[in-house]
């Protein structure tokens, strides 16, 4: 791990991942470009959050099969994330579908090297813990968390290194309310902590989030947040590929993000699955902006 991280505020570097190949509806590949067009990363920069667009990763013109294409994106993304971290900056990855998580967290893992383990908060309506053996849809955006644990195709589990990128005891899922037996079985076997919506409603997101941050920080060198926009209630974030009713309230998640704004152990943020073609008056785009602001502002 590089030692050049100063105590001054880190500058966020945005990587857009214009890939929706891992989803059934590819529309989220237009997410990064739409957010750019709306100009709000510029707005964040103006707000002195030190945010700058680094690059947009696109699919190669000549595509092989979906697995190879997603694996290719993951490799490119992982390198970019590791580079940003080694410069002492903060990677903000904007999807694209959730399969980009394979690249994001493989890159953070590579950056940490032997410095310690990586913790991960996975905020999502789904578990994303399928393999090709258990998935009903074959869609790779339903698999990234399993891949990061080391389960699945070698192309997806061995990005930058053969090691698992996270250990089950260093991960928490938040907001889950829609899943299939095969993936639930894997997470149960691995004993991963899952905060389902009913527990969140009972105890409140602030309490649950604080507990989850402690959980993923305790034995790790740092942690990341992977936010699938479908974790939010579709009434507040309709622009996603797989909406599920009864989700997180935006105001609660904004408060939660603000609570870790100055946390030096937070290493990277990823916001995925925003699909502009399904949005309503840019409501979801605005939610992405507010969430980024609350974390970086």
Biggest CA pair distance of the chain? 50
Catalytic residue among 98, 109, 130, 215: 98
Residue 10 or 276: the one with the smaller Cβ distance to Mn ion is: 276
Q: In the bound complex, what is the minimum distance in angstroms from residue 232's beta carbon to Mn ion?
A: 12
Q: In the bound complex, what is the minimum distance in angstroms from residue 124's beta carbon to Mn ion?
A: 4
252 included as an active-site residue:
no
- Region from 65-73, 74-82, 92-100, 148-156 binding Mn ion, contact rule CB under 5 A: 92-100
7 included as an active-site residue:
no
The verdict on 98 binding Mn ion (CB under 5 A) reads: yes
141 included as an active-site residue:
yes
Per-residue mark of binding to Mn ion, 117-146 (x: CB under 5 A)? -------x---x------------------
Residue 44 or 172: the one with the smaller Cβ distance to Mn ion is: 172
Residue 89 or 97: the one with the smaller Cβ distance to Mn ion is: 97
Q: In the bound complex, what is the minimum distance in angstroms from residue 228's beta carbon to Mn ion?
A: 4
The verdict on 270 binding Mn ion (CB under 5 A) reads: no
Q: Which of 228, 233, 270, 279 binds Mn ion (CB under 5 A)?
A: 228
Residue 98 or 109: the one with the smaller Cβ distance to Mn ion is: 98
- Region from 90-98, 182-190, 249-257, 263-271 binding Mn ion, contact rule CB under 5 A: 90-98
Of 130, 168, 184, 136, the residue nearest 152 (C-alpha)? 130
Residue 173 or 221: the one with the smaller Cβ distance to Mn ion is: 173
The verdict on 97 binding Mn ion (CB under 5 A) reads: no
Catalytic residue among 29, 89, 97, 128: 128
263 included as an active-site residue:
no
Q: Which residues make Cβ contacts (< 8 Å) with residue 81, sequence separation at least 6?
A: 15, 91, 93, 103, 104, 107, 108, 111, 268
Residue 228 or 279: the one with the smaller Cβ distance to Mn ion is: 228
Q: In the bound complex, what is the minimum distance in angstroms from residue 23's beta carbon to Mn ion?
A: 9
255 included as an active-site residue:
no
Catalytic residue among 228, 233, 270, 279: 228
Helix/strand/coil (H/E/C) assignment for every residue in the chain: CCCCCCCCCCCEEEEEEECCCCCCCHHHHHHHHHHHHCCHHHHHHHHHHCEEEEEEEECCCCCCCHHHHHHHHHHHHHHHHHHHHHCCCEEEEEECCHHHHHHHHHHHHHHHHHHCCEEEEEECCCCCCCCCCCCCCCCHHHCHHHHHHCCCCHHHHCCCCCCCCCCHHHEEEEEECCCCHHHHHHHHHHCCEEEEHHHHHHHCHHHHHHHHHHHHHCCCCEEEEEEEHHHECCCCCCCECCCCCCCECHHHHHHHHHHCCCCCCEEEEEEECECHHHCCCCHHHHHHHHHHHHHHC
What is d(CA 74, CA 17) in angstroms, rounded to the nearest whole number? 10
- Region from 31-39, 87-95, 171-179, 226-234 binding Mn ion, contact rule CB under 5 A: 226-234
Catalytic residue among 109, 126, 130, 215: 126
Q: Go through the chain and tell me how many residues it has.
A: 297
- Catalytically annotated residues: 98, 124, 126, 128, 141, 228, 230, 273
The residues of the shown chain that bind Mn ion, judged by CB under 5 A, are 98, 124, 128, 228
């Amino acid at each position: 791990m590089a030692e050049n991280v100063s105590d001054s505020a880190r500058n966020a570097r945005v990587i857009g991942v214009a890939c929706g190949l891992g989803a059934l509806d590819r529309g989220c590949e237009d997410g990064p470009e739409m957010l750019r067009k709306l100009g709000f990363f510029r707005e964040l920069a103006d707000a002195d959050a030190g945010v700058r667009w680094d690059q947009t990763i696109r699919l190669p013109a000549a595509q092989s099969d979906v697995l190879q294409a997603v694996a290719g994106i993951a490799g490119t993304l992982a390198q970019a994330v590791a580079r940003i971290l080694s410069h002492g900056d903060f990677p903000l990855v904007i999807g694209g579908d959730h399969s980009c998580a394979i690249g994001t967290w493989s890159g953070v893992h590579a950056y940490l090297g032997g410095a310690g383990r990586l913790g991960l908060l996975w905020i999502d309506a789904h578990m994303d813990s399928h393999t090709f053996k258990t998935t009903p849809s074959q869609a790779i955006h339903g698999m990234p968390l399993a891949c990061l644990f080391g389960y699945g195709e070698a192309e997806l589990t061995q990005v930058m290194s053969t090691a698992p990128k996270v250990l089950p005891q260093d991960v928490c899922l938040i907001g889950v309310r829609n899943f299939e037996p095969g993936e639930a079985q894997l997470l149960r076997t691995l004993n991963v902590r899952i905060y389902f919506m009913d527990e969140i409603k009972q105890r409140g997101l602030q309490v649950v989030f604080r507990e989850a941050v402690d959980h993923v920080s305790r034995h790790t060198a740092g942690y990341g947040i992977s936010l699938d926009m479908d974790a939010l209630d579709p009434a507040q974030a309709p622009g996603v590929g797989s909406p599920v009713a009864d989700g997180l309230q935006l105001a609660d998640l904004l408060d939660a993000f603000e609570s870790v704004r100055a946390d030096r152990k937070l290493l990277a943020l990823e916001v995925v699955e925003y699909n502009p073609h399904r949005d309503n008056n840019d409501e979801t785009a605005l939610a992405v902006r507010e969430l980024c602001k609350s974390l970086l502002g």
